[in-house]
Structures are given as C-alpha cells and as structure tokens.
Amino acid sequence: MARKIGFYTVLFYVAYGLFFYWYLFYHAETALPFEYQGSQADPATFLNSRELALSEEYSKVRNFLFFLSTPFEWVLYLFILLFGLSKAYQKWGEKSAKYKLLQQGIYLFWLSLTAYIATFPLSYISYTLSKTYHISTQSFAAWMKDELIDFWVNFGFLYLFVVVIYWLINKSQKRWWLYAWFLSVPFTLFITFIQPVVIDPLYNDFTPLKNKELETKILDLAKKSNIPAEHVFEVNMSDKTNALNAYVTGIGSNSRIVLWDTTLNKLKDKEILFVMAHEMAHYVEKHIYIGIGISLFLSFIGLYIIYRLMHIIIAKWGDVFKIVDIKDIRSLPLMLALISLLFFVSSPLTNTISRYEENRADKYAVAMTEDPDSGIATFQKLAKSGLSEVNPPLIVKIFRYNHPTMLERIAELEEASVLKKNSEK
C-alpha cells in the first residue's frame, strides 16, 4: 500500500508540474487587450523591448517555481511518513532526552532540517533567478544569513505550536481544535503587535527617515488621515533588492510607517506621497484588523477541517503512515501537510479580499493626493523595477496576486486622471 500511494503521489506531482509548464509557457494568454494598447497601462509605453522580453521570461519561470514548490511540500511530508522518518525522529528524541518537551524539540529539529534541505534547491533556484534578472542584489552569504534566520524563527514558532497543540490533543481529542483556536486569538494579536519591533529588525536595520523635509510631508499626510505617527522609518533594502516597497505595519503603539531606501532613491517626492497615502488607507480603513479577523475566521474553519481529516486519514491509513494515534507526535507531518494544503486552497479567497482592499487604498490615495498621474508613474516604475507582468495569466492572478494587476491599477488611475483634467476645464 505504501508503494502504491508513493507511486501515485509522484505520478500526480509530475502530471501537475507538466500541466503548469504547458499552461505558463505555451497556453496562458498575457497579451494586452486591444482597448489598452497604447494607453499608459501598456508596458510598451514604459518598458523597452529588452525589458518586455525579460519581464515575460522572468514571470513565467517565477510562476512555475511557485506552483511547483507548494505541492512539493505536501509530497515531502507524505514521504516522511511513508518512509518511517517521522517514527525515526521520534525515537531519536526519546533516546536523546528524558523530558517530553526536549524530545519534542529534537523531533521537530530533525523534521525541520529535513524539510529545509529538501526544499533548499527550489529556494536557491529562486534566489539565483532573481539575481540573474537583477531583481536581487543580495550576496549569497547575506541570503544564507536570512535563510538561517528564517529557519530558526520558524522553528521557534513551530515548536511553540507543537507543544501547545499536542498538549491540547492529549487533554481532549474531540475539542483540541476549538481550544487551539481560542488560544490563537491573543497569540495572533501579540505577534502582529511585536512584529515591527522584534521580528522585522532581525532581517533589516530600521532608522528614522533621514530626509526630514519629506518626513514632514508624510506626517502632514498622516495627520490628515488621523494616523498617530510621530516618525517615518526607512530600511536599507538596496543591499538585497532593486524592487520598491513601502508599508504601514503593526497595531497600537507599535504601528510604523516604513519606506524602503530603493523607493526613496527611485521615486520622486510626489510619487512617494501617493504610495504613502495608499499605505495609510490600510490603517484608516482598518485593513490590518480586518485581515486579522479573516485570518481567525479561516483558522477556525481550517482547524476543524484538519481535526476531521486527521481522524479519518489515521483511521484508514494509520498503519501505512506509521501513525498509531493522533496524539502521537508522529502525526505532525500529516498535520503540516494539511495546513499547507488548506492555505493553498483558501488563497483565491484571501487574494480576492486583499485585491479589493488594495483597490480601495488606490482610490483613497487619489482622493487624498488629488494626483493620479503620480500614481501612474509610480506603478510604471514598480513594474519596471520588479519586472512585473502587467497582465498575468488568470490562474496566476487567482493564486498569486493579492494586489490588482498593474493593468487594472494603471488603467483605473488613467481614468481618474482624465476625469480630473475634464473637471478642471
């Protein structure tokens, strides 16, 4: 049975990969609709022929890597179960430590290390791809440093998750998912609160904005939006990327307005103010809190589905996967595979909600700055610096885009610009 499951899993993964290769490289329609040709949303108006070709090449490969990497994680966890590695890690933990908490930590370390090594080739290919197309400016040593930070941060959070989840399962095999969800509410709020001041600085250095004249303009904009900001922060990202970004993050007293130095270097002040007005809209319209609410709602449903599926799968194929009981830590790879699967399945919904919020933020920025032309120039530069597809294939948009496409954003701003000019006549 284990060989049969393994064979069909590999067969499915290969077929899945071939489908997306065919779809992305031969079938997907990315040509600009006729009505947009020659408009400011037409990439031919702001990208040269080489940039257009590079954007198309880069996007195809990057999208293909995305669609390969997610199901690869499911296949990996499945084979960890089928080959008895999960059982072996449990034994190593029990032989190496006396206390259960340490045993769980050792088990999780070996599981995390296996997953990291197995997925490293895809991560490295993604890194070299961005270097080849001059998106990334990061050295291999700096990239590995971030990778190791990622490993240990993820290990720390996952260890806390494992300890709590399996303690709850041992206490109540019927309601553990509900208790886990109750605990996730304060935990999610806590992480959102500390992220700007504890987690983000692990990867980058944040300093007050050096351009005080620009900071004053941004803070004036924040004041108009009733955002209680006293400082604007800049982060040195030029050592890592040529891409542009800015954001408002955190909740409560830890809220931060952040600009990448690449954005400061490549955008004019008016364009930066448009970007900041867009980001402030997320704060004004409570998108951070809405996002937390949606995340908690989906996690409630997701935890219940995982609870049901784990009992069904273990009852039917427990012997094949070498899982005795759900409360056995050997069931963790199954749980992680199901979590990853549910994230993937729910991404079209969450992306749709996010695209709606981003569209609202664009409209807010137009209303706040009364400068849609700066917005158009900004999005053109964003597309140019990141080699972004202006009109991505439909499946890519559904699963990958949490922002409207550049075609949609620029076209809407162009319409706003026309209306503004007509009203001024």
- Active site members: 279, 362
The answer to the question of whether 278 is labelled as a binding residue is yes
Q: Tell which residue, 255, 249, 246, has the closest CA to residue 274.
A: 246
**Packing angle between helix 140-171 and helix 100-132, nearest 10 degrees?**
140
Whether the CB-CB separation of 218 and 190 falls below 8 Å is answered with no
Which tokens in the block code for residue 347?
A: 């991404």
The answer to the question of whether 282 is labelled as a binding residue is yes
Q: Give ∠ CA 28-10-303 in degrees, rounded to 5.
A: 85
Distance CA 196, CA 191 (A): 9
The answer to the question of whether 358 is labelled as a binding residue is yes
Whether the CB-CB separation of 75 and 129 falls below 8 Å is answered with no
Binding region: 278, 282, 358
Binding region for Zn(2+): 278, 282, 358
